[in-house]
Amino acid sequence: MNISITGTGSYIPSMTVKNEDFLNHDFLNLNGSSFEHENEVIIQKFKAITGIEERRYATNEHTTSNLGFFAAEKAIANAGIDKETLDYIIVAHNFGDLTHGQNQGDTLPSLATRVKHQLQIKNPKCVAYDLLFGCPGWLEGMIQATAFIKSGIAKKCLVIGAETLSRVVDDFDRDSMIYSDGAGAAILEATENGGEVLAHESATYALEEAKYLFFGKTYDLTATNTTNYIKMAGRKIYEFAVTNVPSAMAECLDSSGASIGDIKKIFIHQANEKMDEAIVKRFYRIYNEEMPENIMPMSISKLGNSSVATIPTLYDLVRHGKIENQQVENGDVIIFASVGAGMNVNAMVYRI
């Protein structure tokens, strides 16, 4: 028995927000003071580091679970399965359903239950639950689904990563330009042949690292509201990621039976273009190899960082030939890898 990704789907919101749309923002330092540079310079530096030119935001009428539902419909259709045969629906997110204009997350009922409701699945044996694991949440959901199938308690699982980060950002924080909205989904099922999960690896670092991403106050010290927003210690996250993700990828590869030369593509969480390049270069350095050209598909320049949605969206786009000069074929060995709040790290080696 193999465990195969038999279908994928993604939903990319229609609202495009370009870097120049932030020119009139009042960006502030942590202490509430203004930056010495004009916004044009701040945005230029931001693009040089992150690679982001534009990002997508959900339209006002859609919530995170709506985006997850749209991606799920496509994945189910792509796999050609009966939705009533699903054993699990796992939805990875971080902030629940967020109504436009509010940033209080709604998780009652769970987003997975909401997706199942929108799919109109009648089968009560289709178990739906949410997963909170930071940006690596979708990949952790895939790892859990793999375990369910290996154990024999499931044959088909739907794993979704969905987020509306645009609704939890502090407009006075220049990091707000990083975040975006979207959803990606995959069907993982037991098959006689086809693709195969070869290995996976997960870790949580929860000492000093636990507070690298957190909910905090606005940088506008004159504000009287008590609203919290997503905040991060960017430099510490970068140092953590380039140190710990390559080793996790290597441990995963070493236990997979595949070699460094077998890898055709690396699908890494779209957090920061320079950081992702540094991670992959360090990964190859472990094997005394140079990072091959075209090994790392990227979508961050146009889609931004949609957290749990980045990897499944990217894989779906490449799988369906929607990213220029990037494709995968049956038999290719690929790696999924992610890092995020927790701090959590994970990786999976998969043969298509």
Q: Which CATH superfamily, name and number, covers 2-193?
A: Thiolase/Chalcone synthase (3.40.47.10)
Q: Which two tokens stand for residue 68?
A: 């997850």
User: CATH for 198-351, among 2.30.30.230, 2.60.40.60, 3.40.640.10, 3.40.47.10?
Assistant: 3.40.47.10
Q: Does 198-351 match 2-193 at the fold level? A: yes
Please provide the size of the chain in residues: 352
66-96 burial, b for 16+ CB within 10 Å, e for fewer?
Answer: bbbbbbbbbbbebbebebeebbbbbbbbbbb
User: What average pLDDT does this structure show over 320-338?
Assistant: 96
For 177-222, write each residue's pLDDT tens digit. 999 999 999 999 999 988 999 999 999 999 999 999 999 999 999 8
Q: Whole-prediction pTM value?
A: 0.95
Percent of the chain as helix, strand, coil, to the nearest 5: 35, 25, 40
Counting runs of H as helices and runs of E as strands, what totals does the chain give? 8, 13
pLDDT at 164 over 80: yes
Phi, psi of 32 (to 5 degrees): 90, -5
The CA-atom distances, in angstroms, between 95 and each of 34, 67, 142 are: 29, 14, 20
Check if the beta carbon of residue 9 is closer than 8 Å to that of residue 184.
yes
> In this predicted structure, what is the pLDDT of residue 224?
86
For 6-47, write each residue's pLDDT tens digit. 999 999 999 999 999 999 999 999 888 888 889 999 999 999
d(CA 209, CA 265) in angstroms, rounded, equals 29
> In this predicted structure, what is the pLDDT of residue 310?
98
Band of residue 101 on the pLDDT scale cut at 50, 70, 90: confident
d(CA 334, CA 8) in angstroms, rounded, equals 15
pLDDT at 175 over 90: yes
Question: Domain coordinates of the chain in residue numbers?
Answer: 2-193, 198-351
